Amino acid sequence: MELFHLISILIVFASTFGYINARFIKLPTTIGLMLISMIFSIGVLVLGKYFPTVISYENKLMAELDFRDIVLNGILSFLLFAGALQVDLSQLREQRLPVIVFSTLGVLISTFLVSILLYYALAVLNLKIPYLHCLVFGALISPTDPVAIIGILKKVGIIKSLEVKIVGESLFNDGVGYVLFLTVLSLAQSGSGGGNIEFQETAFLFLKEVGGGFLLGGILGWITYRALSRIDDYQVEVMITLAMVMGGYTLADKLGISGPITMVVGGLIIGDKLGNKKVVSEQSEVYVNKFWDLMDVLFNAFLFLLIGLEILIVDFNKTALLAGLLIIPAVIISRYISLKALILLLRNWVPFESKTTLIMTWGGLRGGISIAMALSLPEDISRTLLITITYCIVIFSILVQGLTLAPMVKKYHLNNT
């Protein structure tokens, strides 16, 4: 099937499901799209028992869509940049210490806690897998998904300082988490627990990916800002930001550094400059922001539509499904413990709002990035089982945590109104 036809089908699905949600269900767009597409996929499975050609067609469609490649090398660059544009850089500077600590040490602590709990939970179910496979799962499920979080926080109306902590952490821990995932995956594939990978190599990989992402993002953000400040043509200015995202992400990939962090840093710099009337005109600011708002909505729709449709490739056998349900509280508890420990460590230097640990734990949603990493697993790393568990956690995270976050914020009087 040609690329144009694939994109056309996705746009038709996204528009149709978006209309159904807006007209009848009225859930937040991302949640509604995923829920409707999941129901659609289940309907196809049922219908396929009587009309096999229906399910064979959708299976063919999903087989031609490389979810991992679409997310990690396509959608993610647009969504991270669009999300970073919305963050107030001055407020992020004020919260830089907790954001840095949560997105690095928080991911590390959570990864080890999740891996230990998964190892023993699977043993109870007689699903013994090597501990390193559990560690790989801990690395892919510990980073929170900024795509899922930002879309929902827009509707929640949480106080700004807490929102910046949640969004800032989620924007940066993806890059850190992905580097950790690649490192642990290499360890697991070596089969020696570290015999083939030395600490120096791991540290170099981390510094190259994360440090390089910060450096390249800063350079690209500065170049783009200088270009925007030299002209007053909103059409060209929109194209310049688009070129920065697509070209910058491609360049980061070719250089072997973190594309997500590059996009976040570049987006933060440009977003900060867009608010300065000495840099861009008011008309340019409006058009650039409106364009990226549209990109945010469009690619969010694609992402959550794909998450729902991908249910067709997941092996929901009883044992794997039980394992997934059992690990959901383990992931939540691991995040709570890691956050609580770090907040206790930082409380003498950083003021934290009441119920910060609870809100950040429940607001730590998992989404398409975790699924993309799970789908990239090779068969010899317990791939089928770990994909099923990941999918269970993502579904619970978005549908249950996403829908109950607003009532929780309201209950503890953490609204910004």
Q: What is the pLDDT of residues 340-349, one digit of tens each?
A: 999 999 999 9
Q: Are residues 196 and 222 in the same domain?
A: yes
Tens of pLDDT along 187-219? 888 764 444 555 677 677 778 888 899 999 999
CB 126 within 8 A of CB 167: no
Asked if residue 86 has pLDDT above 90, the reply is no
pLDDT value at residue 254: 93
For 415, the 3-state DSSP assignment is strand
pLDDT value at residue 192: 46
Q: Are residues 181 and 314 in the same domain?
A: yes
As given in the structure block, the two tokens for residue 318 are 């009883």
Among 26, 41, 64, give the residue marking a domain's end.
64
Give me the number of domains the chain comprises. 2
As given in the structure block, the two tokens for residue 297 are 């909505």
CB 224 within 8 A of CB 244: yes
Q: Are residues 81 and 197 in the same domain?
A: yes
Q: Are residues 11 and 84 in the same domain?
A: no
Asked if residue 228 has pLDDT above 50, the reply is yes
Q: Are residues 44 and 109 in the same domain?
A: no
Q: Are residues 162 and 281 in the same domain?
A: yes
Largest CA distance in the chain: 65
Q: Which domain holds residue 19?
A: 3-64
Q: Are residues 58 and 71 in the same domain?
A: no
pLDDT value at residue 417: 58
Among 64, 88, 112, give the residue marking a domain's end.
64
For 352, the 3-state DSSP assignment is coil
As given in the structure block, the two tokens for residue 158 are 């949480």
As given in the structure block, the two tokens for residue 177 are 């988490």
As given in the structure block, the two tokens for residue 280 are 């861009």
Tens of pLDDT along 96-152? 999 999 999 999 999 999 999 999 999 999 988 999 999 999 999 999 988 778 777
Angle at 200 between CA 199 and CA 202, to 5 degrees: 65
Q: Are residues 237 and 291 in the same domain?
A: yes
Alpha-carbon gap, residue 308 to 416, rounded angstroms: 32
Q: Which region, left, alpha or beta, applies to residue 357 given φ > 0 means left and ψ of -120 to 50 means alpha? A: alpha
The DSSP 8-state label assigned to residue 398 in this structure reads I
pLDDT value at residue 196: 52
CB 101 within 8 A of CB 339: no
Q: Are residues 205 and 76 in the same domain?
A: yes
Residue 416 lies in a domain: no
pLDDT value at residue 193: 46
pTM summary value: 0.90
How far CA 5 is from CA of 2, 10, 56, 262, 310, in Å, comes to 5, 9, 17, 31, 18
For 158, the 3-state DSSP assignment is strand
